[in-house]
Structure 1
Amino acid sequence: MLIIAEEKDAYPPNGQIPNMDTDAKACRDILTRIEPLLPTDLRGEVIGALVTWSESVLKPGQSFGTWAEAITVATRYARSDPALKTDNSQRRRDQAVDDDEVVKLKAALGSTGKTGDPQIALRDESRRWANCGMAAFQIRELLHAAGGKPASVSRETYGSGGGDALKKALLVKPVGTATVLLLDCQFPQVHNFIIEVHHDGSRYLAQGYQGTYFAHWWLGINDSYSSKKPTPEILALRERYGLGRAISPENYAALLDGLVAAVSSDWQETANQWSALPFNPDRQEIDGIRRRSGSPTLLVEVFELGKPAVARAALGDNGVASLSELATRGMATT
């Protein structure tokens, strides 16, 4: 487990961080907060360490006073720093760990690019690039790093009775030809995807799905899928909504209808719609959604890219690809 004392108000009683590998909302929220603290050269490795700590059941847990301290330890490990320091409560820079604790730490980390085990490497790739919240976050951050200047302009949650407003939100277009919109859409703790919108009405769907497929596969960048073979159902959905292509008006209308229906009443109805939505039509996933309690909602956060042309040039514009695809191409998968 991963405990961050400064997060005790957000995650009572002691700041235990949720499993970032399975909780997409927590993962996205945390990544947004800690982004300024991450080392630019080892972002993926450090994030991978934090995710693995959060999902680990090894005892004792990794405990820190602040995110800055946790990131410092994860960075030192990623750089194979022999002076790595930690303890089982509040981290102190002058307290070394014994050999047994070092073994536990390395086992908890699992994979941060330091192993040749193909199964562990695949798990790490899945964690970093199939995790839907992390994939969406990193697409946005790559565009930011490339000079695209993304800025949040609105953030609204839609549920039962909000179908018309949800459709209106997902039909929005940039006010001018010089900007591009990213619609960051989240079914809390279920799925996170991005719809990229251009002034001419072109729309692109970018996403990964935990344990199912990588963002690179969805966009048709490579054939790396996940730990299993794609089903005919997901291949058909990728053909209609993915492969880096603009979504046709007819398919986009069908997507909007499905999303509106998915949040119209309860999770039972969400499950009924899920097989037709371009996410993960797996039967086990649908059964899991059907068992959820409470009322489904869809959060739509709109980001405006103020300088998409700058980002396009920095990411190696080929004149055809969407910005989401260019950003995903820039994300190393090893």
Structure 2
Amino acid sequence: MDGVASVPKLCLHLISSAIQRCRMSEDLCRLSVVLKRSPVSDPPILGISISDTGVGSCLEEFKDLRYSRDWASFEKWDGELSVTTTSICDREIHHYHLNLKESVPTNMLTELPSKPKNGAKFSGTEISLSTFERMDDLLAEITHFFRKMLILKIPNIAIELVIEHGDIRGSRYGNFIQANECNHLPSPMSNIECLKSGLEDFVCKHGNSLNEKCFSCFPNREHLKVGSGLACRAESQRSTGQVMEAVIIISESSEPPSPCFSASGPKTEVLCFYDFSPCAISQSSMNALISIDWKNYGLTLRSFVDQNGSALLEWEDLPTYAHIDIVLHCYHKQYPLLYFMHLVIDIAQEMTLTCLTK
């Protein structure tokens, strides 16, 4: 991260790091985000805790964090983080204080007294901070992020989002979200199979939204036509083993499924993930999508727009009750930009899109 432009951006970055630590673990992991509002101060202080039971944190992951010196961030957050972490082989639980406002990198991190584990075998990390950010705004950002995570259907991570109110002693409201809440996944499933299943669940939700289930949009999956593709390159001087996955679904019905479905119209929001976390679409991915000869598959791309990192594709001559959904997931290490574009285009050529044509 070049800079922490806002508290929500920082929180999503810290959640993404926690996801990576969970993925590195061979055990079922829990990722918990707790928001606790205290009305004692005016304005109320919001406490944020992001914890996981994955492998212990590597302090190197914090070295690229920088505090953005814009006034909005300055007024809402002091730039300080509290870090608690331990690995399975550690005998102690380590505590650190991180000050992102510190201009000297060597002075950013302060090691605090550690605590013994007394022979216990566990690993995990907790990062906490306090801010004057509005809870409703931050909650909306994190919930939307987690709902997108469900599309990946990562099998070994249970996600928990909890809201605590400090004004009533002992009060606690929990909103529990699990990465595999939609279906029990058969084991084992490849990443691309999980992605296909997750996008199908997403399409069958209310108006393609992330928050509501709607059985009137598509009560079953008979009207879904699915195409998927995967491309990967072995490690070499040119590439470092990156994998690119893509799934396309065309939803078709002979009659209006529901008013919420027709609201999406002939536009497709391209959902993008990088290293198992939601992300904005890259310019290389956008260029690759535009370069695909869609007419070869019976589709006509009318226009494309990049709206704050979200790609919107508009189609011509789609059937009245049809909609197209696309998801891209790139993970492992980075390719050169041009090579990445070719990777996406190669997927389109390999996908079974003949079943998706008109």
Q: Normalising to structure 2: TM-score of the pair?
A: 0.30
Higher share of residues assigned helix: 1
Specify the structure having the higher radius of gyration (Cα): 2
Higher share of residues assigned strand: 2
Q: Normalising to structure 1: TM-score of the pair?
A: 0.32
